[in-house]
Amino acid sequence: MALLGSAHPGPTVAVTAFATILAVAVGRGSAGATLVAAAVLAGQLSIGWSNDAIDARRDLRTGRRDKPAATGGIDGNSVAVAAAIALAVCIPLSLAGGVLAGSIHLVGTVAGWAYNLGLKRTLMSPLAYAVGFGSLLPFITLGLPDRPWPAWWAVLVAALLGVAAHLVNAMPDIEGDVATGVHGFPQRIGRTACRVLTPLLLLTAVAVLLAAPDRITLISLLLAGVAGLVAITGTALPAAPTSRWPFHATVLTSGLVVMLFLARGSSIV
């Protein structure tokens, strides 16, 4: 259980579900969607485990009680081995959908590792999330028989969701991050700015979807309205500095955006 807890199960499951639903939506079929799910899951597990293995000592200093490697629930070396194994499994699973598609997914996975290894400490920290989320769309569509590239707006929406997730994920730990030398983009702009910027990114994602080709349906408008409301309340309402509600609201909004993908009737390829 400690090993699973070190894999950041919430984000891992959310990203895997996001990719799997989109794979089904574009027509990858049961086998193709299962392959996408397996590859994305392996990649996300490797990123989550490498994060805990690399940050174990820093998490111990900041008193992170949600990190098993920091609380002694599991040895950091064991988590590192699990991360390496998951990455090794991710490679053939990704390439099984095609060399180009698989390579793009591996670039997104490497971006996650780059974040853990040091990019998180720089102003360019959002880039890892933008690349990681944005790579999911071409990985999914390039695995189709005719190898189509996804629509630009679909990739943009995924990247916006990734950057929003980065901001809300960093918010509860900003003080501890700064104290231990992590000065990424969220830490530099501060919690208040993150709470303002996050709903703007999510609302922009919703607006891009509404502006995409094909007619706007009543269901699309309703989903967009609910997504906008959740996005705003998720970060605008008063909450404790360590509250995870903004993160959960972002995950919920992302789920609504996936539903909006489906309800819009627009093809992402």
Q: Kindly report, residue by residue over 227-269, the tens digit of the pLDDT.
A: 888 888 876 666 666 667 777 787 788 788 878 877 664 578 7
What's the rounded Cα separation, in Å, for the pair 157 and 254?
10
Query: Mean pLDDT over all residues of the chain?
Result: 87
Per-residue pLDDT at 21 exceeds 70: yes
**Burial category of 42 from C-beta neighbours within 10 Å (exposed 0-12, middle 13-18, buried 19 and up):** buried
Q: Are 202 and 181 in contact (CB under 8 A)?
A: no
Confidence of residue 66 (pLDDT cuts 50, 70, 90): low
What lies within 8 Å, CB to CB, of 86 at 6+ separation is 42, 43, 45, 46, 49
What lies within 8 Å, CB to CB, of 158 at 6+ separation is 133, 134, 136, 137
Q: Kindly report, residue by residue over 164-193, the tens digit of the pLDDT.
A: 989 988 988 898 888 888 999 999 999 889
What's the rounded Cα separation, in Å, for the pair 155 and 173?
29
Closest by alpha carbon to 183, among 168, 173, 193?
173
